[in-house]
Chains A and B, each alone.
Chain A
């Protein structure tokens, strides 16, 4: 068994208990034997095909999954780095790739199965031929009635119904850029996105079922339009799909001349076809808004050719989608997971994709497994939050139903090993390969995952970078961090699925994702532009990554996640405080507690009254749970030469951990002074530290990285 090597190079003997815990956490699960021979990626040669010496042409393999009107002449254009252009010269249509070509080859194959939330309602099977007809007719409506053309933006605010992919594909057919807002968001949120995208048309639905109730959704359209108008954006037309034809599910009246029922307009376009617009590969396909760390949500602009090829390729190799599969992703199409892995990826591969309207546990915890059994679902995809919820409400439900998943994907957050194992043994019945994926709205598709037939699963880890993705972990200074140490995970290279920019704000794209680790702002060489993911991570010796959490950190106190920025902001409302930095301290009872370091403005002296004032202010502004265990008043904070407070240094002091290299600080001498002051006081108060585990040390070292 490996011996642990401490930071000073000394060897420590590992106890049997530690070995048992270590192996339980780190055990590998091979793919089921029956899975491997049928897998799309069953030959290790694929890893060589996507090795770095084959970049960027390796991605031709993904692009070749699509039908192009015109082949590209340049795989990757870096002339305007980091605004990458993929498959330059290529032209295609996303709607054609997802619908027409499959309707021609297999018209009767089911494209979409709609499962209404009311369990008494019939499932609706839409063949590729049906889908083609519906997309054509709606595209004709959008073009001729709504006056939409290529390059226009349209906002969709729709729930999980088949009319949503029909609308998206109709937009794609015309080259219209769609921007779908999650159906559960308020009208105000929708309005803000209408304004930012400059949409003049809103497409919505009257209502939908959620948790057993018909929800009035149309009411939000009026709120959205009012909110957009306040920001100077007028909406000319609201197209309203009706959940049940002939019935109106809303209390809100339709506005004459502005609001129109789609089902009343569609007969005018019955049987019409619209030629799919041949779009440049770089043409925006859609906008997807995502929260930032500061400021308004930003519209991530995704391309047509690069994005579609990437989601098709990752769907094929990582979820192992074959055309004859029945694939069910339980996410909402309002998020990037739904765009990539309910609509565009699966339909590009010509498979059957399931759209379920409602909540997973309606009417009970067995509902997902009944759906899986009824439809013969072979591939399942959901989030750790949903897995935890289903495990909570019905841990024994899966075994009651006769279904068989060959692969299961998880996405959205790191999944703890205990929950992973329930997912594997109960939901997957020990027979499915799990792909635990890591990626972001900005990426278009997976960045980290195991190839299900070729790389063993490891609970709690997303695995290595996916094909053609070359991650690296940097410290604050841009130096590469060795395996076992935490830092900021970046992607060294561009990839086809990466977003093309922030809509209307190129500076935000540069500053948020590239400026931090850029080596030369004038360089056209992609090597000089690592993409900053804004996530912390550790790479294990086997090359697998464990994602630790966002670099703007959150302190988890007795189950309450407290943002450090909120705590510091509260402290800064005290007039005497100049600077504030909140850090986590390991606590065996509460998990973590908060300590806050403050420096005072000139003319003020430290005192117990001042400490109490800071503490009480935080409690008042945020709540009792945020009250810091200690307030440390220091003469100065350890800072980088650019003036940023080095939170990991003071977090290490509070935790009696190694502060690491401080030679690059602007004021390294302050560290020893703080350490002596804080640790002497803690010891005097009986706060005896215990040795941190490796994971805790990694967490503290990664804390506060920006």
Chain B
């Protein structure tokens, strides 16, 4: 939006920082970082795409943690994912389903 929606990029950046903090592999950490850079530096129109990719990343991390039996990591990742999804829905970057 041309409208002053820059704050959506900011809030998404914060949430992606949280996603980055709960990654358990270097590759996942790099991916989370790339998404954060995309949110901060890219156009506002790309934020929905960034949110979708971030949720997909969190989803993979959660499954990986479950498979390894790392409940602590799973809980942190699920919480980060839930916060990201809630923001995505409230900001209309995602539709509530």
Contacts and interface: CB of A to CB of B under 8 A. Distances in A.
Interface in A54-94: none
Given A184-B11, A412-B7, A559 B43 contact: no
A210 B13 CA distance: 14
Interface stretch (B23-31, B48-56, B60-68): B48-56
Contact of B94 (A294, A297, A559): A559
B37 A293 contact: no
Interface residues of A, number: 58
B90 A388 contact: yes
A440 B93 CA distance: 19
Contact of B43 (A182, A334, A552): A552
Interface string B5-21: 11111110110010000
A413 B3 contact: yes
Contact of A290 (B6, B36, B89, B94): B6
A422 B46 CA distance: 29
Contacts of B51: 561
Nearest to B56: A623
B69 interface: no
A119 to B, nearest CB: 20
A337 interface: yes
Residue picked from B36, B47, B48, B86, most chain A C-beta under 10 Å:
B48
Contacts of B37: 186, 188
Contact of B52 (A290, A412, A625): A625
Contact of A441 (B6, B40, B90): B6
A533 B4 CA distance: 11
Given A189-B40, A411-B4, A550 B45 contact: yes
Given A291-B6, A389-B90, A566 B49 contact: yes
B3 A185 contact: no
A195 interface: no
Contacts, number: 149
Nearest to B95: A559
A438 B52 CA distance: 27
Contacts of B7: 182, 331-332, 335, 337, 383, 385, 412
B75 interface: no
Nearest to A548: B1
Interface in A345-387: 383, 385-386
Contacts of B14: 184, 210
A334 B9 CA distance: 12
Contact of B48 (A210, A385, A552, A560): A560
Contact of B91 (A185, A188, A385): A385
Contacts of B46: 563, 565-566
6 contacts: A182-B7, A335-B6, A335-B10, A441-B6, A560-B52, A622-B49
Interface of B: 1-11, 13-14, 17, 36-37, 40-49, 51-53, 56, 86-87, 89-97
Listed from nearest, the 10 A-B pairs whose CB atoms lie closest are: A559-B95, A561-B48, A535-B2, A184-B14, A534-B2, A388-B90, A389-B90, A189-B40, A385-B91, A182-B10
Interface of A: 182, 184-186, 188-189, 192, 210, 290-294, 296-297, 331-332, 334-337, 383, 385-386, 388-389, 392, 411-414, 438-441, 533-535, 547, 549-554, 556, 558-563, 565-566, 591, 622-623, 625
Given A385-B90, A412-B4, A562-B49, 18 more contacts: A184-B13, A184-B17, A185-B10, A192-B41, A291-B42, A335-B10, A386-B90, A392-B90, A413-B5, A441-B6, A549-B1, A550-B45, A553-B45, A559-B94, A561-B45, A561-B47, A563-B45, A623-B56
